[in-house]
Structure 1
Amino acid sequence: MRPTLAASFLTTVAALTLTAPASLLAADPAAGQAAWVETHPQADGSPARSCVSCHGRDLTQPGKHAKTGKTIDPLAPSVNPERLTDQAKIEKWLLRNCRWTLDRECTATEKADFLAYIKTQ
């Protein structure tokens, strides 16, 4: 089945979000850090969430999923060189985590800011 023009466009935008130079997306590590700790109320009444809820404030340390208790490897590329090396994984986890934490998908700018922040760790 041939991809539609819209699907091709979305794939291209997603790839740019992950591979474009930070200056092109105006990535801001400080904005990423601020968004990292911002809490978001949950529509289902469960406790408010933030990225810190599972990944913690120190990205060089393992995190722990707030709901399942599963250990999450450190996000900091400085201690986990495999982080941020696979575009498909980055997009997959940003999609899942934004939906779970923010109850929506992240914008391209938010993704760029998060990645810029994580890269500083």
Structure 2
Amino acid sequence: MTAIRPSFIRAGLTAIALSSALLSPAAQAADTSAAEQLQRWSAQAGAPGNADKGQVFFNNRQGGEWSCASCHGTPPTTQGKHANTGKVIAPLAPAFNPKAFTDTAKVDKWFKRNCNDVLSRECSAGEKADVLAYLNSLK
């Protein structure tokens, strides 16, 4: 029987730790950026996002009782608070929250859910591009 040397054990444990870190949800979460999301929606809309239109959309009610700003604040550079549940919401503007818009699956999920709350429908790619152009303009 061959003895296993300590250096092989350390190397094996290091490899296991590295592969675990690479496969962890936190390591996989940042698959995109706010700029890439803006490019995606602008391409789908066939026009670049418009920050001025996005600001108006974000701050005004769209037929329902809430606006985006109802929960995310005006401007959305500090913590917001869900209008119904009171749950604290991280700043939405990417310059104030480096994790904002970095996970495509979460971005799509929350836009779908929040647009339904504000519009009673999903947002169009153009509306998403405009809102994100506005949020990216906040420094």
TM-score in same-fold range (> 0.5): yes
Q: Offset of 1:88 from its aligned partner? A: 1.1
Match of 1:108 in 2: 125
TM-score relative to the length of structure 1 = 0.74
**Partner Cα separation in structure 2 for residue 95 and residue 21 of structure 1:** 14
**Cα RMSD between the aligned structures?**
2.1
Match of 2:114 in 1: 97
Q: Percent identity?
A: 45
Q: Structure 2: 5+ residue runs without aligned partners? A: 1-35
Q: 1:86 to 1:34 in 2, by over 3 A?
A: same
Alpha-carbon separation, structure 2, partners of 1:40 and 1:32: 12
On the 8 A contact 1:18/1:87 being kept in 2, the answer is no
Query: Residues 17 and 111 of structure 1 are in contact (CA less than 8 Å); yes or no, is this contact kept in structure 2?
Result: no
Counterparts in 2 of 1:68 and 1:19: CA distance versus 1, 3 Å: same
> Quick check: 1:25 aligned with 2:79?
no
Correspondence for 1:38: 60
Given the two structures, how large is their TM-score scaled by the length of structure 2?
A: 0.65
Note if contact 2:58-2:67 (Cα within 8 Å) is conserved in structure 1: yes
The match for 1:84 is: 101
Note the residue ranges of structure 1 that are not aligned, 5 or more in a row.
1-15, 43-47
Asked if 1 retains the 8 angstrom alpha-carbon contact of 2:94 and 2:136, the reply is yes
Q: Which residue of 1 aligns with 2:86?
A: 69
Task: Give 2:8's aligned residue.
Answer: none
Corresponding pairs, count: 101
